[in-house]
Amino acid sequence: MNFNSDERTFDCEPTLSDFKVLEFCREGHLMLPGVVPDEINRRTCDYLEGKIPANPSWVPEGMSEEDLVRIRGSHEPSTIFLEDWFVEHVLLNPQLVGAIRSLLGRYVGLPVLVSHHGVECPAEAQGWHHDADHVFGPELNFVEVFYFPQDTPIELGPTEIVPSSHIRNSRGSEPTNIVTSDGPAGTLGIHHQSIMHRRGASTASGLRHMLKYSYWRSVPPERDWIKDPDFDPRTAYFGGHTLARYAAHMYYWLCGRGDDFRVIGGQGWPWRTENQIGPSYGFGVKKGYLPDWRGDHDDGYAR
Ligand SMILES: [Fe+2]
């Protein structure tokens, strides 16, 4: 792993294969349960609760000691990114960076802002929502990470996610398919920022911390993750009706081929089932339609 502390970027070997990258395009999330060491989880909780002194490894240009104190005490305590131990074990977590690098390419930009979701449990569930300023589109210029520094069983109200809801506005519909991000202390979740989610209802007592922040792309997309010899885009599973065209468009954008992408609709590629006797028609067409990411057309296609 190569960390440039001046630029605040990292580079490393990608760890996701084509199938996993496509899974992210299709589902919009990946979970890494319990990957941060216990000692770091404890130190994170102590930092957030003001139980240990700050020890910034550097001070951002133009900021004073008072600024750092104010930021640490806010709901966006981004000064935690100035702590060496947090950078090494959380931001540059060895099991996380390969996945982020696979999705965002080389020289990934580290987060500059953290949101601290500290909740005194028990608490009601939040309403389902897409986070502010989300974008629906094939581009993946940033991904969001959730970090739970304490054991977060269902009783402590972990984030609930609606898989595949990152492609269009899903507000107003009660989701039937939900994934909960419960897990042991040190669980990291990688999400598409547009995915619909909420804080789940909690029944236990205690303080639940969750930190949320985004990593940023700095290079154009290309297919430089792990190439799987068994992966064939002609027959890969991009999802069911109304999903496959969006997941495929995102996958093609990640491969650097977003401008080539067209579909012909119906049972044509990228839709397919396991009961076909041959590959779907329409793979590689030059003329056709784009998925309607803006939601302007009832049939879900745009020119
Ligand atoms: Fe949210």
Distance 130 CA to ligand 1 centre (A): 6
Is residue 298 located within the same domain as residue 259? yes
- Mean pLDDT of the 25-35 span: 98
Is residue 279 located within the same domain as residue 163? no
Output the average pLDDT for the chain: 96
User: How high is the pLDDT of residue 174?
Assistant: 86
* Pairing of the two strands 301-302 and 108-109: unpaired
Domain of 240, in residue numbers: 229-303
Distance 155 CA to ligand 1 centre (A): 19
Distance 198 CA to ligand 1 centre (A): 6
Please check whether residue 155 lies inside any domain of the structure.
yes
pLDDT tier for residue 171 given thresholds of 50, 70 and 90: confident
Distance 40 CA to ligand 1 centre (A): 24
Distance 181 CA to ligand 1 centre (A): 13
Distance 148 CA to ligand 1 centre (A): 14
**What's this model's pTM, rounded to 2 decimal places?**
0.97
Domain count for the chain, please give it. 2
Distance 192 CA to ligand 1 centre (A): 12
Please check whether residue 176 lies inside any domain of the structure.
yes
Please check whether residue 39 lies inside any domain of the structure.
yes
- Segment 120-152, tens digit of pLDDT: 999 999 999 999 999 999 999 999 999 999 999
Distance 27 CA to ligand 1 centre (A): 17
Please check whether residue 221 lies inside any domain of the structure.
no
Is residue 201 located within the same domain as residue 292? no
How many Å apart are CA 103 and CA 224, to the nearest integer? 9
- Segment 74-128, tens digit of pLDDT: 999 999 999 999 999 999 999 999 999 999 999 999 999 999 999 999 999 999 9
Cis amide prior to 270 (ω within 30 degrees):
yes
User: How high is the pLDDT of residue 42?
Assistant: 98
Distance 169 CA to ligand 1 centre (A): 14
Quote the percentage of the chain above a pLDDT of 70: 100
Closest Cα to residue 303, out of 248, 250, 268, 264? 264
CATH of the domain at 65: 2.60.120.620
Please check whether residue 211 lies inside any domain of the structure.
yes
Distance 236 CA to ligand 1 centre (A): 31
**How wide is the angle at C-alpha 293 spanned by C-alphas 219 and 15, nearest 5°?**
40
CB 292 within 8 A of CB 302: yes
* Burial (CB count <10 Å: 0-12, 13-18, 19+), residue 213: buried
Distance 2 CA to ligand 1 centre (A): 31
> Which of 192, 216, 240 delimits the end of a domain?
216
User: How high is the pLDDT of residue 221?
Assistant: 98
The helix/strand/coil state of 225 is coil
Distance 161 CA to ligand 1 centre (A): 10
Closest Cα to residue 197, out of 233, 242, 223, 158? 158
Distance 28 CA to ligand 1 centre (A): 15
Is residue 138 located within the same domain as residue 24? yes
Please check whether residue 224 lies inside any domain of the structure.
no
- Segment 172-220, tens digit of pLDDT: 778 999 999 999 999 999 999 999 999 999 999 999 999 999 999 999 9
Distance 264 CA to ligand 1 centre (A): 35
- Segment 235-282, tens digit of pLDDT: 999 999 999 999 999 999 999 999 999 999 999 999 999 999 999 999
Q: In what order do the strands lie in the sheet with 197-199?
A: 179-180, 159-161, 197-199
Distance 287 CA to ligand 1 centre (A): 38
How many Å apart are CA 85 and CA 161, to the nearest integer? 29
pLDDT tier for residue 170 given thresholds of 50, 70 and 90: confident
Distance 199 CA to ligand 1 centre (A): 7
Tokens encoding 268 = 């044509």
